[in-house]
Amino acid sequence: MKYKKIIFSLFLGSLLLMASGCKKLLEEQPRTSFTPSFFATSDGIQGAIAGIYSSFRGHWGTQIFTQLFNAGTDESLKGAAADVQHWFEYNNAVIKSNTNNYEGFWNSMFININTANGVLEYGANADIPAATKTQLLAQAKFLRGFCYYYLVTTFGAVPLKTKFNTSPSAADAPAPIADVYALIIKDFTEAAADLPNTPGAGLGKPATKPTALFLLAKTYLWRGWSNVAQANDFQQAYAISKALIDNRATYGLALQPFFPDVFREGREYSSEVLMVIDHTKDLKFGQNSAVGAGATNGSENKANFFWRPNYPTINANYPAGGGANVTVRDINNGRPFQRIRPNTRYIMDVAFANRATDSRFDGTFQTVWLSNSSEMSVRGSLGATTPRGQLINGVDTAIWMRDRLVTPAERAAFKGIMFEPNHLPGAAVPYTASYFPSVRKFDDSTRGNLNDYSDRPYILFRFAEVYLVAAEAAAKGGATMQDAADMINVLRTRAALKANQTPAEYAAAVAAQQITAAQITIDFILEERSRELFAEDTRWWDLARTKKLVERVKLYNTEGAAGVQPFNMLRPIPQSQIDLVTEGPKFPQNPGYE
């Protein structure tokens, strides 16, 4: 690989370091490159780690990344303003000419790996307390493993670099994929041995021991599905996950009792959260205006916009024209980017079919918009007038995304506009690419202006997924099918709790939610992952890992069914990487993208 020097500014205040001797806000020290001697300094080793963490803002929660890793799955379809439409549709002819869609992600991960290598190679000589040094080197191992984990699960075989590189080279080649997995497992294992059980006071949620153990288990799970699997991979994935669950009190981990609370504003550092990507409105530290490493639209967290329908354009006479709009854009309802939308055929009929006893549909989707005639509408003031009556702001529902067909009598008795799932025959006012249920997990009501990005921390990993990893590993032979069912039933019991239930209703819901070992299949586990993790940027990886991408896209996704191919279970090597290798053998493109 022809490495470029590291050319992002280090926002050293972005990470409050975890060792007791380093609990201070570091001053920003922008640098255009790293040298080996810099890694032997206290500022160097700490700044390098902070720089890697800050680079993640350029991916998760950004516009193109969100679409690239959610597009073309059973869960989602393109919205009316989607950008990378070729990935939603698997237009492979266009994809082959746009392999650099993944260039930013590829480059950023390898820049981070080179930085981590510098820390590990030279940081042992840093003049800082031994305990602090141990913690920081563990962070570097975790972060190198993290970056290689995402590279190998996205692209397959990639170059393996374990030495700090200061000299550009025009020769490079992918390493055997078994060697890449071996390094990831080594890094996570060693990081877990030295990282603390819990983050220190006021440190947010950077990686801790349970974070490393979670990714270690998930790496074994991935390798178990791969063509370099080892005999005990699924057993390892299950055993590590089970131990993490059994020792959850030691790690300060617990599921939130009520699923809709998991993503409620202010809960980003709850006991369910393993790791977040922090954000801030402070332009000095937030990277909010500049184009971040691997992002085409900066490093702002705009996750609260992408799954948002164009609710402010629905007029009082819809679907006919005329009349005032029944809502206007406001901070609470968010900016309607319409980049991506739920695939309601799969959502309504499969993943969330059991809405009566499962709170995860309500906790994931917004389906109701109240009338408002201005951003600052006063409750009780008059809103738009529809053919069925005048709406009262803050009282009447102006837009209702129903989960079923409605009768003419129901429609006539409702003052607002009711939509129906577009896949249902006979839908009179169907969902469209602009009008659909919105994802509520990333809502941010604290933004100062309508179009402001979110400064909410982006929740990257949750304790709930540990149960799902354990269940999948068990189902693949790491334990028994009953063990898999037991893991899933923990999440389904939590999901049975709904707002305003009586004790009797809750007990009935818990009973209805339980599954048996006979119901466990990989498809069922994938559907459970949808219920729990919808829109949390895991879905393409889930389908690629389990080799279910083609089958489930053809079954549920009308946009991608004709184009999806088995080779789409890997993403293409960026053409820029291939072009930079001018010495020795040509760097290979992944099959199917040549």
| Pure H helices in 156-232 | 177-194, 209-225
pLDDT (0 to 100) of residue 10: 29
Nearest to 193 by CA among 229, 243, 142: 142
Q: What is the pLDDT of residues 250-286, one digit of tens each?
A: 999 999 999 999 999 999 999 999 999 998 665 444 4
The whole-number pLDDT of residue 5 equals 31
Instruction: Tokens for 96, please give them.
Output: 């082959």
For 391, phi and psi rounded to 5 degrees?
-80, 145
- In terms of phi and psi (left: phi > 0; alpha: psi -120 to 50; beta: otherwise), the region of 452 is beta
Instruction: Label residue 429 left, alpha or beta by phi (over 0 means left) and psi (-120 to 50 means alpha).
Output: beta
Rounded distance between C-alpha atoms, residue 174 and residue 153, angstroms: 14
Burial (0-12, 13-18, 19+ Cβ within 10 Å), 594: exposed
Residue 36, both tokens: 């080996």
Distance of CA 148 to the CA centre of its chain: 17
CA distance 60 to 293: 12
DSSP letters along 380-428, please?
TSEEEEETTEEEETTTSEEEEE-SS---HHHHHT-SSEEEB-TTSTT-S
**Cβ atoms of 230 and 223 closer than 8 Å:** yes
Please give the span between the terminal C-alpha atoms of the chain, in angstroms, as a whole number. Answer: 19
Characterize the bridge pairing of strands 397-401 and 417-419. parallel
Question: Within 33-176, where are the H helices?
Answer: 42-55, 63-68, 85-89, 92-96, 103-122, 130-155
Quote the Cα angle for 139-142-146, to 5°: 135
Pair of tokens at residue 105: 């992600």
**475 CB-near residues (< 8 Å, 6+ apart):** 481, 484, 520, 521, 522, 525
Biggest alpha carbon–alpha carbon distance for the chain: 77
SS3 state at 482: helix
Q: What topology is assigned to 12-301+574-580 in CATH?
A: 1.25.40
Delimit the domains of the chain by residue range: 12-301+574-580, 303-452
**CA 248/CA 352 separation, integer angstroms:** 28
Q: For each of the chain's 594 residues, which pLDDT tens digit applies?
A: 333 333 222 223 333 333 333 332 233 344 446 678 888 888 899 999 999 999 999 999 999 999 999 999 999 999 999 999 999 999 999 999 999 999 999 999 999 999 999 999 999 888 899 999 999 999 999 999 999 999 999 999 999 999 999 888 899 999 999 999 999 999 999 999 999 999 987 667 899 999 999 999 999 999 999 999 999 999 999 999 999 999 999 999 999 999 999 999 999 999 999 999 998 665 444 454 433 333 344 688 999 999 999 999 999 999 999 999 999 999 999 999 999 999 999 999 999 999 999 999 999 999 999 999 998 899 999 999 999 999 999 999 999 999 999 999 999 999 999 999 999 999 999 999 999 999 999 999 998 888 888 989 999 999 999 999 999 999 999 999 999 999 999 999 999 999 999 999 999 999 999 999 999 999 999 999 999 999 999 999 999 999 999 999 999 999 999 999 999 999 999 999 999 999 999 999 999 999
pLDDT at 199: 92
pTM for the structure as a whole:
0.93
Q: Cis (ω within 30 of 0) for the bond into 174?
A: no
Render pLDDT for 494-551 as a digit per residue (tens, 0 to 9): 999 999 999 999 999 999 999 999 999 999 999 999 999 999 999 999 999 999 999 9
For 159, other C-beta atoms within 10 Å of its C-beta total 17
Report the candidate in 309, 263, 316 with the shortest Cα–Cα distance to residue 536: 263
DSSP label at residue 26: P
In terms of Cα–Cα distance, which of 237, 201, 202, 206 is closest to 138? 206
CA-closest candidate to residue 124, choices 39, 10, 15: 39
Asked if residues 300 and 456 have their Cβ atoms less than 8 Å apart, the reply is no
Measure the CA–CA gap between 132 and 484, rounded to whole angstroms: 39
Q: Are 419 and 399 in contact (CB under 8 A)?
A: yes
CA distances from 406 to 296, 319, 327, 416, 417 (A): 42, 15, 22, 13, 11
- What is the Cα–Cα distance from 48 to 53, expressed in whole angstroms? 9
State residue 407's pLDDT score.
97
C-alpha 62/C-alpha 78 separation (Å) is 16
Are 573 and 589 contacting, i.e. CB atoms less than 8 angstroms apart?
A: yes
Indicate the SS3 state at residue 163. Answer: coil
In angstroms, the CA 341 to CA 163 distance is: 43
Q: Supply the pLDDT for residue 280.
A: 67
> CA–CA separation, 314 vs 417, rounded Å?
8
What per-residue confidence (pLDDT) applies to 40? 86
Decide: 542 and 69 in contact? Cβ < 8 Å. no
Q: Which of 278, 259, 151, 263 is nearest to 207 (CA)?
A: 278
E strand spans, 248-396: 273-277, 340-342, 365-366, 368-370, 382-386, 389-392
The beta strand positions in 453-514, using DSSP E, are 458-462
